[in-house]
Each structure stands twice: as structure tokens, then as C-alpha cells.
Amino acid sequence: MTQNERAAAIRVVVADDHDLFRTGLAMLLRSQAGIELVAQASGGRMAVRLAKELRPDVVLMDLRMPDLDGRAATRAILEHDSSARVVALTVASEDADVAAALEAGACGFVAKGTPIDGIVVAVHAAADGAAWLSPHAAEVVLRRMRQAEVDPGFDLGRIEQLSSRELDVLRLIARGMENERIAETLSISPRTVKTHVSSILAKLELPSRVQAAIYAVRHGLG
């Protein structure tokens, strides 16, 4: 990888306590164009430390680790850097795991059995500010959104902080649109959409766009 390619590459940390899976995934990621594997973590605490020290673009985080589970590690990473992008990895895509990962602030959810091409797509989506969910995880999110009820007592103060353009972006996020599609719909650049999304998350004090989508639907903005 040349210096220019390295500068443009997505910097990734892989966190998993299973040595065989972690090293295998790391090897596969190293072979992918546009991705630079910067470190491996064998536990949650190490993942938090490496994320703070190295500031990777994306952390691939196993949910079930003995020292500090992936959900707690994800929260710790986002508390230190709210712009961090964490994609959850797990063997079993149980509803509770999906919900816990997204509530912790993960921007994606990938089953460990996903082919490397799918994991690469998830990494690129996360780096671009979009969400990527395995089919089952997407079903869980959609079900939760459909079951969500409008809360008449929600904090209007936060919503009032959003500009009219940010409200437009939030409504489209709630419809499941990614940044490029939002940009086309609103006739603005993807970079501008990414800026709006970051501003929305900061103003609403939410860790991820998935949380923003659920928030929007729950409060009648979807």
C-alpha cells in the first residue's frame, strides 16, 4: 500500500477474544483494497484503549468477550469519542443482542458467518456515516420501529434545536435512506449530509443514526 493509499484507506481495529476468528478476519481485511488494519484487540478493555490511542475509522467489535463485553466497550468508546463508528460482530443474531448493540451505539450489526465481502460493505458503510445491518438485524430494527408509539411527552427542546434542513435529513434517515440517497433527494452533497447527520446526533444526544431513526419514528417524524 502506497503512502497516498494508506492516507485514504479506512483504518480498522478488530476486537474479538477468539484468536482464530480475529486473526483470520484480520488477514482477510488486510487483503482488501481501501482498508488498513491498524490493530487487533483480544478483549473489550484493550479495544477501548486502542480506540482511544489510535482513533480508527471503524471498530469491528465482538459482543461477547469475558473481560468487558462488546456493548460496554462500545459505550466506553463512544463516551470518549462520539464520532467513533462501531460495528457489532456476533455468532447468534438474537433479538436481544441486536437491540443491546444498537442501544449501546453500534452503527452496524454483522453476523460472524457473513462473507468477507459483506463485512467490507459494512466497514465502508460505517466509515461513510451510514448504517449496515444483517438481514435479521434489519428485521429487528424495523419491527421495533413499527411497534414504537408516538410519545407526546418527548423533549421538544432537543427537536427545536434542529434546523429545517436537519429535520428533512432526520425524516429521511427514519425512512432508511443512506447518505447518498438523502443527498440525491435533497439535492445536496453527500458531505453536507454527513455534516447534518453529525449535527443531528450531537443535538439529540444520540450515539448512532439507527438510534436517530428509531427516535424519529417514535416521535412522529418518520
Over residues 107-131, the pLDDT tens digits come to: 888 888 888 988 998 899 888 877 7
136 pLDDT more than 80: no
SS3 label, residue 61: strand
pLDDT of residue 6: 55
Burial of 11 (0-12, 13-18, 19+ CB in 10 A): middle
32, amino acid identity: Q
Over residues 40-69, the pLDDT tens digits come to: 999 999 999 999 999 999 999 998 888 999
* 132-133 sheet: strands from edge to edge: 35-41, 10-15, 58-62, 86-90, 108-111, 132-133
20 and 130 fall within a common domain: yes
Over residues 76-93, the pLDDT tens digits come to: 999 888 888 999 988 766
pLDDT > 90 in the chain, percent: 39
Which of 69-73, 125-129, 171-175 is predicted most confidently? Answer: 69-73
- 49-57: long-range contacts at Cβ-Cβ below 8 A with a sequence spacing of 24 or more? 50/13, 50/15, 51/13, 51/77, 51/80, 51/81, 51/84, 52/77, 52/80, 52/81, 54/11, 54/13, 55/11, 55/81, 55/84, 56/11, 56/12, 56/13, 57/10, 57/11, 57/12, 57/85, 57/126, 57/127
Going by C-alpha positions, the residue among 38, 41, 33, 36 that lies closest to residue 16 is 41
Residues 82, 36 contacting (CB under 8 angstroms) = no
Residues 32, 17 contacting (CB under 8 angstroms) = no
91 and 180 fall within a common domain: no
Domain end marker among 142, 157, 186: 142
Number of domains, the chain: 2
Q: What is the distance between the alpha carbons of residues 56 and 54, in angstroms, rounded to a whole number?
A: 6
Containing structural domain, residue 209: 149-218
Domain end marker among 142, 176, 209: 142
Domain end marker among 142, 158, 186: 142
Contacts of 68 (CB under 8 A, 6+ apart): 43, 44, 45, 47, 48, 76
154 pLDDT more than 50: no
pLDDT of residue 215: 78
155 and 50 fall within a common domain: no
Kindly report the CATH number assigned to the domain that includes residue 24.
3.40.50.2300
96 and 162 fall within a common domain: no
Kindly report the CATH number assigned to the domain that includes residue 200.
1.10.10.10
